[in-house]
Structure 1
Amino acid sequence: MIPKSHHSLVNKNIERAVVAVQTVIGLGRVVRERKVVPMKYPLPEFVVIHKDPSVLKDVESLEDFVREGLNVRKVTLSQDRELYGVEMRAEPNYPILGKKAGAKVKAITEKFRGMSNTDVEKLLLKGEGESPLTVIDDVPIEFEDIHIVYRVAEQMQYETTAEQGFVVLLDYIADTSLKDEGLIHEITSRVQKLRKEAKLIPTDDITIYYSVEPQTSEIARVASEQRGKIEVILRKSFFPLSNLENKNDSKVVITRKLPVRDGEIEFVITRNA
């Protein structure tokens, strides 16, 4: 028997907040992909800008999902684009404007691109209740004829994109500690895959040994300096391979050499009993 839905029980506020959060997470992932920053690497800050405070309140109510969904340390909500140096530029929507303007589209494009940030602001304000927005070379310009492109003019650590009234900025420049977290994840994820390949279970009493080449690589530095954190994540001992007397010992479960970022790690997993 198929259960009946009760629309009276649907919480519209939660639905609205979920849609908003899905939108900003989607935009954040677009920016990550554009800057080629894998999700496994944490980043310092994600800024969400929207002129409607109620929309920002919705995002705030599910902020933890945004932080986890984008692997960022901080989520900042704001109504102030100027605070972050975000400027707007008008670009033609060629598929629509081209049909309407014909040969005039090139001249109209030049006039679009000559608009200042203030000009674009005024155009959008008119768009809320006026049609056409403006007339250029005797061609009426509607909202559907233009694309609004956002760019960060001053603060170069941010990459930006926009959609559905949201402007988002991602601080994609990670400091050393955040980069190290990403490299730790690279190491531990490979160990976990090896454990799975060897059909080991979490309760198996094992030790993981490692060796990195070149020793001057960042991954070698992290394996050495962050060994304690790696052991906490793996819940197993993680020692340099030089501590293992005999790699051919019968207690060796699996051995692999794997590329990791700027180096190659040899992993050897042994049983302790």
Structure 2
Amino acid sequence: MRKVSNAAEESIHHCSFPEAEGKRDERIERSVARMMTIIDLARNIRERHNKPLKTPLRCACSILFFVLLGDGIVHPDADFLDDIAGKLKEYVLEELNVRSLVPCDDTLKYALLRAEPDFSVLGKRLGKHMGIVAKEVKAMSQESILAFEKSGEVTLSGHCLKLTDIKVIRDFKRPDGTTENDVDATGDGDVLVILDLRPDESLYDSGVAREIINRIQKLRKKSALEPTDLVEVYFDSLDQDKAVSQRILHSQEQYIRDAIGSPLLPLSVMPSHAVLVGEESFHGISGISFDIKLARPALVFNSDAIVALYSGNSEFTRYLQTYLLSRDYANLKTEFQQGNGKITVDCIENMPAVSLVLREHVYLTVGDYFCRTNSE
């Protein structure tokens, strides 16, 4: 430390903790605290319905009721709703594994309000009038309760009651046509969290895709591959009915490709000369079973185009393919790059020189060949 600062201590262990500089942002601290509450409440709903976090859900809705501030008046916290819909949204979506998050400031959309007198507070103060006041408190309408929360007081039977005298209870109002297994909610009096638990084919597909990606990543690690090692990934369904896995691979194609860095290829397109570096079978993964094979990038030949180079001589075509397969893959790839996608092969004895064009006569990977031919 003395090399970089003249005033440094002999050791970092002798230094005091640095003092915080600048003002604390109480708003963001309050928003983050409530965000953690939302996450905890939503996880409780998942546990109650046996919905693990790895199972994606459609939607989470958070309703912030009112917050009691220092002036004794309750206020809707618009800042928190802005934060949860903006800066904190991605974090909540990831932590809860939901597709969408809908903040809501309409306290009556998903909740029924009812008022209950706090007998422990009012009993001694009101005495024989307690019964009449309690009856009027329980008879308060939704609008009256909201007005009471906003103003901080209400007069009933000549008695002025404050926020500490009446308990406002919010009962979840389930949307019409839904059951507890479809939509459920829980809250802490400050925030109400609602989860849409209904099954959805697209959510199921994305959940299975995540499981497939997870198995591929674990197989890479098991095969002692480095993150930078290029491999091609092949998938083979072991189910009698392959329609489900085919639908999932089609609908989640881009998501899987982005996650593993290459297209997920059907086993049927793996060439016989592909070099396997890892393989494993998986059974009962989200209801499907499959094989995963990892292979080094392999060349794919357009035999018809190569035969045309040799005026129909198929024997010369086989010799050329054997020669290219014997080449070091990295060096061959570099030659194509340096030649702007072209190389000339003139070193095979008793065979004429030919110019090979990438993606016309040969493909450097099965993935490139598969994607190009499927898009045509």
Query: One fold, TM greater than 0.5?
Result: yes
Measure, in 2, the Cα distance between the counterparts of 1:72 and 1:26: 14
Alpha-carbon distance change, 31 to 191 in structure 1, aligned in 2, over 3 angstroms: same
The equivalent position to 2:98 in structure 1, one of 58, 61, 72, is: 72
Provide the residue aligned with 2:44 in structure 1. 30
The structure that has the greater radius of gyration is 2
- Unmatched 5+ residue regions in structure 1? 91-96, 98-114, 134-142
The answer to whether the aligner puts 1:40 opposite 2:82 as a matched pair is no
Measure, in 2, the Cα distance between the counterparts of 1:192 and 1:30: 29
Measure, in 1, the Cα distance between the counterparts of 2:263 and 2:175: 49
Q: State how many pairs are aligned.
A: 235
The answer to whether the aligner puts 1:221 opposite 2:247 as a matched pair is yes
TM score, norm. by length of structure 2: 0.53
Alpha-carbon distance change, 129 to 226 in structure 1, aligned in 2, over 3 angstroms: closer
Check whether the contact 1:20–1:58 (CA below 8 A) recurs between aligned residues. Answer: no
Provide the residue aligned with 1:271 in structure 2. 296
Measure, in 2, the Cα distance between the counterparts of 1:160 and 1:128: 29
**Which residues of 2 match residues 103-142 of structure 1 at below 5 A?**
129-131=163-165
Provide the residue aligned with 1:160 in structure 2. 185
Check whether the contact 1:194–1:254 (CA below 8 A) recurs between aligned residues. Answer: yes
1:182: how far off? 1.6
The DSSP-based 3-state class of the residue aligned with 1:211 is strand
Alpha-carbon distance change, 74 to 226 in structure 1, aligned in 2, over 3 angstroms: closer
- One-letter amino acid of the counterpart of residue 28, structure 2: I
1:59: how far off? 3.0
* Range 211-220 or range 200-209, more displaced: 211-220
The answer to whether the aligner puts 1:206 opposite 2:245 as a matched pair is no
The equivalent position to 2:218 in structure 1, one of 174, 177, 193, is: 193
**Which residues of 2 match residues 241-260 of structure 1 at below 5 A?**
241-244=267-270, 251-259=275-283, 260=285
Provide the residue aligned with 1:111 in structure 2. none
Alpha-carbon distance change, 241 to 77 in structure 1, aligned in 2, over 3 angstroms: same
Q: CA RMSD in A?
A: 3.6
- Unmatched 5+ residue regions in structure 2? 1-14, 66-75, 121-137, 155-160, 298-328, 330-376
Provide the residue aligned with 2:27 in structure 1. 13
1:65: how far off? 2.2
The answer to whether the aligner puts 1:230 opposite 2:253 as a matched pair is no
The DSSP-based 3-state class of the residue aligned with 2:41 is helix
Measure, in 2, the Cα distance between the counterparts of 1:2 and 1:29: 40
Measure, in 2, the Cα distance between the counterparts of 1:128 and 1:153: 32
Check whether the contact 1:87–1:117 (CA below 8 A) recurs between aligned residues. Answer: no
1:58: how far off? 4.4
TM score, norm. by length of structure 1: 0.70
Check whether the contact 1:16–1:58 (CA below 8 A) recurs between aligned residues. Answer: no
Q: Deviations over 1:174-227 (max 9, x none)?
A: 533332222211111110111011111232221111211214253353135544
Identity of aligned residues (%): 26
